[in-house]
Chain A
């Protein structure tokens, strides 16, 4: 149901104002991280884009690089645009802060700084938010507390996926409200499949 603002149109709008600041890759709008603030200002103040509402600001660690993801929303025109900025320096990532444009970026940038270690230059109060000062490392980075060997973060496969009798074992999952010991009808077992309740 979400109406998306066309990334191509947004790129054209940005590039008209600041040439070469935007490009479209795989349907997503990527902005040049050095000229990010000006480019987002164009998107915010442009009459046809009107992306005045910063819905969401977060980052993703792609192990070689970071992507900071902005979801910008126009309230009056009711469309949303996903804007991304790529940070290639994985050791010391930094990005201009959007706090000058969006007051709502304050806390979200602090959160990203806290958990990813991405510096937002120009943020007035860039401190750790959830974790204490001096917390070692940035937990949402994929290499946080990396295991020895080639063990990657994340889940390699489903639990018991390869075993023959995969869970759930019928009858082992309490099903009915009020009657935890009732043997559950088979349809209910199917309903909770995918939940590690045994």
Chain B
């Protein structure tokens, strides 16, 4: 009996730890006992902000290590393994190096505008964390229009990027900035439409509300709207400037894009924000499509923020994976992919969401039966849409396979070339095509 009691004691403590709000409530109540109301709200707000800053700062340092290590494993290398145990201190060493480096600015740069972007880029990068729900009531600001806030804040980053590119007085930077603007504006459309699908279907614009809807209906959105999830994932990776859509800082074309001229910690700030954004976007993908802090009852026993972080980590790994695997699309291909494929696909699912929502609400269909059927229908629709796109929108260039023939005994110039090409036998190998 005593053993069981001990176990339940441990579990109970664990259970309390599940929701960090308990701690916060304690503090608020303690302040409310002796202080004015406004002090309590300020202190809790600061606590939340400090909590987020305190978490993401070290997390970023670890993430740099994780990303480099994972990419290194994809590439059959060891990755950083010299500074500290397993190379864990490498990011710290890098940060120290970046801080100590001289800050150069081009002589012809617009000094003020050149100085501002590394600082300004932090604002959306931090603000966006405010609406990420780590638990049932665990977000700094549980806005009832959280989705709008998210889109609005993330949209401002492009202005900062353009400031950086324009003020650098560098053609690579300018090209990168122009690409970034074109791409951000384009890719915001499928992103908004993808979120609109969720908003329509769950009937709430609160991010926590979307998670709670998934909890109530016992389903995660990726099953209901797989194509939307895919589009959101791709659009998000485009907004994050990660391969295959990293055209605004395409290393092989325009060196480093908009931050070509930034050196030292100014570059470091861009880099940190980019990593932080990657993390938070992974978090939002996990929240919107993978159920966020909820996981089929597991959240009763495991702290919800650990569940969210685990899911975020999984999405983050997926982002690293795509980055380590895929080449980059060209700027016009990215644009045509966005407008010709992603926007129609998400629009289709907005309509589907409307119809299915109406069936659920007005017709009063039983969700336990209707939702699985809808999931199957939507998965089928998604596959159909992808195949339709592959049929219709695929450039004619790519629909013919690329062939390699073996010359055999035919060695020579044009005449030999013609006779090799005219040979009817199967080419040695052939790739691509329909």
A and B touch in their complex, CB below 8 angstroms = yes
Give the interface of A toward B (CB within 8 A): 50, 52-53, 74-78
For residue B416, CB closer than 8 A to chain A, the reply is: yes
- Residue in B411, B413, B414, B416 with the greatest tally of chain A CB atoms within 10 Å: B413
A77 to B416, CA, bound (A): 10
Per the bound structure, the CA–CA distance linking A77 and B412 in Å amounts to 7
Chain A: which residue is nearest B415 at the CB level? Answer: A76
Closest to A52 in B: B413
Return the chain B residue nearest A53 by Cβ.
Answer: B413
Q: Which residues of A contact B411 (CB under 8 A)?
A: 78
List, in ascending order, chain B residues with CB within 8 A of A52's CB: 413-414
CA separation between A191 and B416, bound complex, in Å? 43
For A76, list chain B residues within 8 Å (CB): 412-416
Q: Which residues of A contact B412 (CB under 8 A)?
A: 75-78
* CB proximity to A under 8 Å, residues B389-428: 411-416
For A50, the chain B residues whose CB sits under 8 A away are 413
The distance from the CB of B342 to the nearest CB of chain A, in whole angstroms, is 43
A11, B426: Cα distance in complex, Å: 44
Instruction: Give every chain B residue within 8 A of A77 (Cβ-Cβ).
Output: 412
B411 nearest CB across to chain A (Å): 7
Least CB distance from A1 to B in Å reads 13
Interface of chain A: mostly helix, strand, loop or mixed = loop
15 more contacts with CB within 8 A, not counting A52-B414, A78-B411, are: A50-B413, A52-B413, A53-B413, A74-B413, A75-B412, A75-B413, A75-B414, A75-B416, A76-B412, A76-B413, A76-B414, A76-B415, A76-B416, A77-B412, A78-B412
| Between-chain CB contacts (< 8 Å), 17 pairs | A50-B413, A52-B413, A52-B414, A53-B413, A74-B413, A75-B412, A75-B413, A75-B414, A75-B416, A76-B412, A76-B413, A76-B414, A76-B415, A76-B416, A77-B412, A78-B411, A78-B412
Which residue, of A52, A53, A75, A77, has the highest number of chain B Cβ atoms within 10 A? Answer: A75
Q: How far is the CA of A17 from the CA of B297 in the complex (A)?
A: 94
Whole-angstrom distance between the Cβ of B299 and the nearest chain A Cβ: 61
Residues on B with C-beta less than 8 A from A78 are 411-412
A residues near B414, Cβ cutoff 8 Å: 52, 75-76
Which residues of the partner chain B approach A53 to less than 8 Å between Cβ atoms?
413
CA distance A76 to B418 in the complex (A): 11
Question: CA of A184 to CA of B254 in the docked complex: distance in angstroms?
Answer: 52
Within the complex, the shortest CB–CB distance from B38 to chain A, in Å, comes to 72
The docked-state distance in angstroms from the alpha carbon of A77 to that of B414 is 11
- In whole angstroms, what is the CA distance A50 to B412 when docked? 12
Residues from chain A with Cβ under 8 Å of B413 in the complex: 50, 52-53, 74-76
A40 CB, min distance to chain B CBs, angstroms: 17
What's the least CB distance linking A191 to chain B, in Å? 36
Give Cα A74 to B413, complex, Å: 8
Q: How far is the CB of B286 from chain A (nearest CB, A)?
A: 53
A75 to B413, CA, bound (A): 4
Q: Tell me the bound Cα distance from A52 to B415 in angstroms.
A: 12
A45 CB → nearest B CB, Å: 13
Name the distance in Å between B100's Cβ and chain A's nearest Cβ.
38
Chain B's nearest CB lies how many Å from the CB of A188? 36
CA distance A50 to B416 in the complex (A): 14
In Å, the complex CA distance between A52 and B413 comes to 9
What chain A residues lie within 8 Å of B416 (beta carbons)?
A: 75-76
* Complex Cα–Cα for A76 and B415 (A): 6
Instruction: State how many angstroms separate the Cβ of B421 from the closest Cβ of chain A.
Output: 14
Distance (Å) between the CB of B125 and the closest chain A CB? Answer: 47
A74 to B416, CA, bound (A): 12
Chain B, Cβ-Cβ closest to A74: B413
**In the complex, A74 Cα to B414 Cα: how many Å?**
10
Distance in Å: Cβ of B408 to nearest Cβ of chain A: 16
A53 and B414 CA atoms in complex are apart in Å by 11
0/1 string, B58-75, CB within 8 A of A gives 1: 000000000000000000
CA distance A78 to B413 in the complex (A): 9
Closest 9 CB pairs of A and B: A75-B413, A76-B412, A76-B413, A76-B415, A75-B412, A76-B416, A52-B413, A78-B412, A76-B414
Q: How far is the CA of A28 from the CA of B243 in the complex (A)?
A: 58
A25 to B383, CA, bound (A): 75
A102 to chain B, nearest CB (A): 14
Q: Chain B: which residue is nearest A77 at the CB level?
A: B412
B344 to chain A, nearest CB (A): 45
**Smallest CB–CB gap between B291 and chain A, Å?**
59
A33 to B415, CA, bound (A): 31
User: In the complex, what's the smallest C-beta–C-beta distance from B419 to chain A, in angstroms?
Assistant: 10
A53 to B413, CA, bound (A): 9
Alpha-carbon distance A75/B414, docked complex (angstroms): 8
* Cα separation A7 to B407 with both chains bound (whole Å): 30
From residue B194, how far is it (CB to closest CB) to chain A in Å? 51
Q: In the docked arrangement, what's the CA distance between A142 and B387, Å?
A: 69
Query: How distant is the Cα of A99 from the Cα of B412 in the complex, in angstroms?
Result: 23
The minimal Cβ–Cβ distance linking B355 to chain A, given in whole angstroms, is 61
